[in-house]
Amino acid sequence: MPEALVSWLQQQVGVPLRQQSPVAGGCIHNAWQLEFCDGRRLFLKSNQAAAFPLLEAEADGLRALAAAAPPGLQIPIPLACSVVDQQAVLLLPWLALAPGPAPSAWQQLGQGLAQLHRQSLRCGPGQGRFGWHCANFIGATPQPNSWQQSWVFCFVEQRLGHQFDLAQAAGRPFGRAAALLQRAWQLLADHTPDPALVHGDLWSGNAGLLEGGGAALFDPAIYRADREVDLAMAQLFGGFPPQFFSAYEAEWPLPAGSRGRLELYNLYHLLNHAHLFGGGYRQQAQACMERLLG
């Protein structure tokens, strides 16, 4: 670790760094567990300076989620975010994640997410509107945001339409994209959800159970949206057990018709994975489009 970064860390924490250990699992940034001379452990993400906007957007999302989260749901609040010696860095509390399953903690996560969604209707920027106050990222993909009164416009234009534009610009357009956008307008035309603050990238790798009980959320791609988008993605790549969904439903039941919107909402993530990784995700996205078009 560069000396300038070690010095910056000591300034932020107030005590010298004792040791650092790489943490595996991420595909964009480098990650480190830091141990300081007073026994504290923290988490550091680092990347080239050009990646600072990604870390800055992550910090913004974590702060917004933390402001709406109930006591039983832990969101790591950023301690510092900066560029140090040509490295973009984000300093966070260390989350001691539990290695094994804990049904009660999954229930707590489901209940906590429902409470966060409901509480967010009464706090934070943009109440009553969809979108967010700034653009951010879904993975490494730019995610445009602007405030909208209409959920259907927000999702169809700023989410699906943006992904189709990226595919077109890359020379890999999707067949029947225009028809799919028209179909999406039809499917959402009569749906008027409340604009809740959503995690936005809720797969099992961005949530965890904590040692000693409780649960945590991290690595968000937030915006104000239909809360169903979080519950839909939680079913896309597996990892969330039935206890999570039943606890959410018990706390705040989803409205009628939510099952019919699930595949449409998850098309956004399939398109994004096709953009980032190609391969089989492109076939999955096209097949999803064909099912929605009927």
Alpha-carbon gap, residue 156 to 186, rounded angstroms: 10
Distances (CA, A) of 5 to 28, 93, 106: 20, 17, 37
- 38 labelled catalytic: no
Catalytic residue, chosen from 165, 190, 201, 230, is 201
Q: Which helix (H) or strand (E) holds 88?
A: strand 87-93
For 139-251, list the strands marked E by DSSP.
Answer: 141-143, 196-198, 207-209, 215-217, 223-225
Specify the 3-state DSSP secondary structure of 206: helix
Alpha-carbon gap, residue 180 to 93, rounded angstroms: 42
Q: Which helix (H) or strand (E) holds 93?
A: strand 87-93
Q: Count CB-CB contacts under 10 A for residue 212.
A: 8
Q: What amino acid positions are annotated as catalytic residues?
A: 201
